Chain A
Amino acid sequence: QVQLQQSGPGLVKPSQTLSLTCAISGDSVSSNSAAWNWIRQSPSRGLEWLGRTYYRSKWYNDYAVSVKSRITINPDTSKNQFSLQLNSVTPEDTAVYYCARVEGSSSWFKNWFDPWGQGTLVTVSS
Protein backbone atom coordinates (compact mmCIF):
# COMPACT_ATOMS: atom_id res chain seq x y z
CA GLN A 1 0.00 0.00 0.00
CA VAL A 2 1.46 3.30 -1.10
CA GLN A 3 1.52 6.11 1.42
CA LEU A 4 2.63 9.71 1.03
CA GLN A 5 3.76 11.76 4.04
CA GLN A 6 4.17 15.51 3.64
CA SER A 7 6.37 17.83 5.69
CA GLY A 8 7.34 21.47 5.62
CA PRO A 9 6.65 24.86 7.21
CA GLY A 10 3.14 26.21 7.47
CA LEU A 11 4.08 29.88 7.32
CA VAL A 12 6.12 31.64 4.64
CA LYS A 13 6.80 35.35 4.27
CA PRO A 14 5.88 37.19 1.07
CA SER A 15 8.61 37.14 -1.61
CA GLN A 16 10.27 34.11 -0.01
CA THR A 17 10.32 30.47 -1.16
CA LEU A 18 7.75 27.87 -0.19
CA SER A 19 9.35 24.43 0.29
CA LEU A 20 7.54 21.16 0.94
CA THR A 21 8.59 17.51 0.88
CA CYS A 22 6.60 14.35 0.18
CA ALA A 23 8.06 11.08 1.47
CA ILE A 24 7.01 7.92 -0.36
CA SER A 25 6.49 4.48 1.18
CA GLY A 26 5.40 1.42 -0.76
CA ASP A 27 6.67 2.71 -4.11
CA SER A 28 9.77 4.38 -5.54
CA VAL A 29 10.24 7.94 -6.74
CA SER A 30 12.36 6.40 -9.50
CA SER A 31 9.60 4.04 -10.64
CA ASN A 32 9.09 3.77 -14.40
CA SER A 33 5.35 3.42 -13.82
CA ALA A 34 4.49 6.45 -11.71
CA ALA A 35 4.51 10.23 -11.74
CA TRP A 36 4.70 12.34 -8.60
CA ASN A 37 2.50 15.41 -8.47
CA TRP A 38 1.81 18.53 -6.44
CA ILE A 39 -1.71 19.96 -6.23
CA ARG A 40 -3.00 22.87 -4.17
CA GLN A 41 -6.43 23.89 -2.91
CA SER A 42 -7.63 27.31 -1.90
CA PRO A 43 -11.07 28.93 -1.57
CA SER A 44 -10.28 31.37 -4.38
CA ARG A 45 -8.64 28.99 -6.87
CA GLY A 46 -10.16 25.62 -5.94
CA LEU A 47 -8.07 22.56 -6.72
CA GLU A 48 -5.16 23.38 -8.99
CA TRP A 49 -2.61 20.96 -10.45
CA LEU A 50 0.87 22.48 -10.12
CA GLY A 51 3.25 20.00 -11.65
CA ARG A 52 4.91 16.59 -11.63
CA THR A 53 8.20 14.76 -11.81
CA TYR A 54 8.77 11.30 -13.23
CA TYR A 55 11.54 8.99 -14.34
CA ARG A 56 11.58 7.32 -17.75
CA SER A 57 15.27 6.51 -18.29
CA LYS A 58 15.85 10.14 -17.32
CA TRP A 59 14.02 12.67 -15.18
CA TYR A 60 11.19 14.75 -16.59
CA ASN A 61 9.17 17.64 -15.15
CA ASP A 62 5.92 19.23 -16.27
CA TYR A 63 4.55 22.42 -14.72
CA ALA A 64 1.28 24.32 -14.86
CA VAL A 65 1.46 27.47 -16.96
CA SER A 66 0.19 29.55 -14.03
CA VAL A 67 3.29 28.84 -11.91
CA LYS A 68 5.85 27.74 -14.49
CA SER A 69 8.22 30.64 -13.89
CA ARG A 70 8.31 30.09 -10.12
CA ILE A 71 8.11 26.34 -9.51
CA THR A 72 10.62 23.52 -9.17
CA ILE A 73 9.80 19.89 -8.37
CA ASN A 74 12.79 17.71 -7.57
CA PRO A 75 13.17 14.01 -6.79
CA ASP A 76 15.44 12.83 -3.99
CA THR A 77 16.29 9.21 -4.70
CA SER A 78 18.44 8.80 -1.58
CA LYS A 79 15.42 9.51 0.63
CA ASN A 80 12.71 8.24 -1.73
CA GLN A 81 10.89 11.54 -1.72
CA PHE A 82 10.19 14.56 -3.89
CA SER A 83 9.94 18.23 -3.14
CA LEU A 84 8.12 21.37 -4.18
CA GLN A 85 9.71 24.79 -4.28
CA LEU A 86 7.63 27.83 -5.18
CA ASN A 87 9.53 31.11 -5.40
CA SER A 88 8.46 34.69 -4.84
CA VAL A 89 5.27 33.77 -3.03
CA THR A 90 2.42 36.19 -2.40
CA PRO A 91 -0.70 35.87 -0.25
CA GLU A 92 -2.39 34.41 -3.36
CA ASP A 93 -0.26 31.29 -2.83
CA THR A 94 -1.89 30.61 0.52
CA ALA A 95 -3.44 27.17 0.15
CA VAL A 96 -3.46 23.56 1.29
CA TYR A 97 -0.79 21.77 -0.72
CA TYR A 98 -1.07 18.06 -1.54
CA CYS A 99 1.26 15.56 -3.11
CA ALA A 100 -0.26 12.69 -5.10
CA ARG A 101 0.73 9.78 -7.32
CA VAL A 102 -0.38 9.05 -10.87
CA GLU A 103 0.37 5.53 -12.07
CA GLY A 104 1.28 4.72 -15.62
CA SER A 105 3.74 2.91 -17.83
CA SER A 106 6.84 3.84 -19.73
CA SER A 107 4.76 5.62 -22.39
CA TRP A 108 1.44 6.70 -20.87
CA PHE A 109 -0.25 7.76 -17.64
CA LYS A 110 -3.37 6.61 -15.87
CA ASN A 111 -5.02 9.97 -15.48
CA TRP A 112 -6.17 9.89 -11.88
CA PHE A 113 -4.59 10.72 -8.54
CA ASP A 114 -4.23 8.01 -5.92
CA PRO A 115 -3.10 8.13 -3.20
CA TRP A 116 -2.82 11.67 -1.85
CA GLY A 117 -0.69 13.03 0.96
CA GLN A 118 -2.37 14.37 4.06
CA GLY A 119 -2.12 18.00 2.97
CA THR A 120 -0.16 20.94 4.36
CA LEU A 121 -1.73 24.34 4.96
CA VAL A 122 0.77 26.98 3.89
CA THR A 123 -0.01 30.58 4.80
CA VAL A 124 1.86 33.41 3.12
CA SER A 125 2.00 36.30 5.53
CA SER A 126 4.49 38.66 7.08
Chain B
Amino acid sequence: QSALTQPRSVSGSPGQSVTISCTGTSSDVGGYNYVSWYQQHPGKAPKLMIYDVSKRPSGVPDRFSGSKSGNTASLTISGLQAEDEADYYCCSYAGSYTPYVFGTGTKVTVL
Protein backbone atom coordinates (compact mmCIF):
# COMPACT_ATOMS: atom_id res chain seq x y z
CA GLN B 1 0.00 0.00 0.00
CA SER B 2 1.63 3.27 -1.10
CA ALA B 3 1.44 6.46 0.92
CA LEU B 4 -1.08 9.07 -0.14
CA THR B 5 0.46 12.01 -2.01
CA GLN B 6 0.47 15.48 -0.47
CA PRO B 7 2.35 18.63 -1.50
CA ARG B 8 5.49 19.11 0.56
CA SER B 9 4.56 22.63 1.57
CA VAL B 10 1.96 25.37 1.23
CA SER B 11 2.03 28.88 2.59
CA GLY B 12 -0.23 31.85 3.08
CA SER B 13 -0.51 35.15 4.87
CA PRO B 14 -2.63 35.60 7.98
CA GLY B 15 -6.29 35.74 7.04
CA GLN B 16 -5.81 33.98 3.72
CA SER B 17 -6.98 30.48 2.81
CA VAL B 18 -4.81 27.51 1.95
CA THR B 19 -5.83 24.11 0.59
CA ILE B 20 -3.89 20.88 0.98
CA SER B 21 -4.55 18.02 -1.40
CA CYS B 22 -4.28 14.32 -0.62
CA THR B 23 -4.24 12.01 -3.63
CA GLY B 24 -4.73 8.27 -3.43
CA THR B 25 -6.44 5.60 -5.47
CA SER B 26 -9.81 3.94 -5.82
CA SER B 27 -8.61 1.42 -3.23
CA ASP B 28 -8.32 4.03 -0.50
CA VAL B 29 -9.40 7.68 -0.82
CA GLY B 30 -11.71 7.08 -3.75
CA GLY B 31 -13.23 3.91 -2.38
CA TYR B 32 -14.38 5.06 1.05
CA ASN B 33 -15.61 8.18 2.79
CA TYR B 34 -13.14 7.60 5.59
CA VAL B 35 -10.53 10.31 5.18
CA SER B 36 -9.17 11.98 8.29
CA TRP B 37 -6.75 14.87 8.74
CA TYR B 38 -4.21 15.47 11.52
CA GLN B 39 -2.29 18.54 12.63
CA GLN B 40 1.17 18.04 14.10
CA HIS B 41 3.27 20.71 15.77
CA PRO B 42 7.01 20.06 16.20
CA GLY B 43 7.73 17.48 18.88
CA LYS B 44 4.04 16.81 19.47
CA ALA B 45 1.67 13.97 18.66
CA PRO B 46 -0.74 14.34 15.75
CA LYS B 47 -4.12 15.88 16.58
CA LEU B 48 -7.36 14.94 14.83
CA MET B 49 -8.79 17.86 12.85
CA ILE B 50 -11.23 16.26 10.37
CA TYR B 51 -12.81 12.81 10.14
CA ASP B 52 -15.11 11.08 7.64
CA VAL B 53 -13.89 13.49 4.91
CA SER B 54 -15.60 16.63 6.23
CA LYS B 55 -16.64 16.31 9.88
CA ARG B 56 -14.99 18.35 12.61
CA PRO B 57 -14.46 17.03 16.14
CA SER B 58 -15.66 19.16 18.99
CA GLY B 59 -13.20 21.95 19.70
CA VAL B 60 -11.72 22.22 16.21
CA PRO B 61 -12.31 25.70 14.74
CA ASP B 62 -14.71 25.91 11.80
CA ARG B 63 -11.86 27.50 9.81
CA PHE B 64 -10.87 23.91 9.06
CA SER B 65 -12.92 22.10 6.44
CA GLY B 66 -12.55 18.94 4.39
CA SER B 67 -13.85 17.64 1.10
CA LYS B 68 -13.27 14.90 -1.45
CA SER B 69 -13.58 14.45 -5.19
CA GLY B 70 -12.74 11.12 -6.74
CA ASN B 71 -9.38 9.90 -5.49
CA THR B 72 -8.36 13.27 -4.02
CA ALA B 73 -9.29 14.67 -0.62
CA SER B 74 -8.63 18.24 0.44
CA LEU B 75 -8.19 20.18 3.67
CA THR B 76 -8.87 23.92 3.56
CA ILE B 77 -7.81 26.32 6.27
CA SER B 78 -9.68 29.61 5.99
CA GLY B 79 -8.65 32.76 7.82
CA LEU B 80 -5.14 31.43 8.38
CA GLN B 81 -3.70 32.13 11.85
CA ALA B 82 -0.16 31.93 13.18
CA GLU B 83 -0.99 28.90 15.31
CA ASP B 84 -2.03 26.98 12.19
CA GLU B 85 1.64 26.70 11.18
CA ALA B 86 2.28 22.97 11.49
CA ASP B 87 2.54 19.75 9.52
CA TYR B 88 -0.70 18.22 8.25
CA TYR B 89 -1.29 14.57 7.37
CA CYS B 90 -4.22 12.88 5.71
CA CYS B 91 -5.18 9.29 6.40
CA SER B 92 -7.57 6.99 4.58
CA TYR B 93 -9.16 3.66 5.30
CA ALA B 94 -7.82 1.22 2.70
CA GLY B 95 -9.70 -2.01 3.25
CA SER B 96 -9.33 -4.93 5.58
CA TYR B 97 -5.91 -6.10 4.35
CA THR B 98 -3.98 -3.06 5.60
CA PRO B 99 -6.67 -0.83 7.05
CA TYR B 100 -4.97 2.56 7.14
CA VAL B 101 -2.65 4.52 4.88
CA PHE B 102 -1.26 7.96 5.67
CA GLY B 103 -0.29 10.86 3.47
CA THR B 104 3.26 12.09 2.98
CA GLY B 105 2.60 15.25 4.97
CA THR B 106 2.41 18.96 4.17
CA LYS B 107 4.13 21.79 5.99
CA VAL B 108 1.92 24.84 6.30
CA THR B 109 3.81 28.10 6.71
CA VAL B 110 2.12 31.31 7.81
CA LEU B 111 4.01 34.16 6.17
Contact A112 B89 (CB under 8 A): no
Give the docked Cα–Cα distance between A115 and B101 (Å).
Answer: 18
Whether B24 is near chain A, meaning CB under 8 Å from some CB there, is no
- Residues of chain A within 8 A of B93, CB atoms compared: 111
Q: How far is the CB of B23 from chain A (nearest CB, A)?
A: 15
Q: How far is the CB of B81 from chain A (nearest CB, A)?
A: 22
Contact A117 B102 (CB under 8 A): no
- The residue in chain A whose Cβ has the minimal distance to the Cβ of B46 is A116
Contact A111 B98 (CB under 8 A): no
Give the docked Cα–Cα distance between A102 and B62 (Å).
Answer: 23
Contact A113 B3 (CB under 8 A): no
Contact B52 A112 (CB under 8 A): yes
B22-46 CB mask vs A (1 if < 8 Å, else 0) is 0000000000101010100000111
Spell out B's residues near A (CB within 8 Å). 1, 3, 32, 34, 36, 38, 44-48, 51-52, 57, 89, 91, 93, 97-105
Spell out A's residues near B (CB within 8 Å). 46-49, 52, 62, 64-65, 98, 109-119
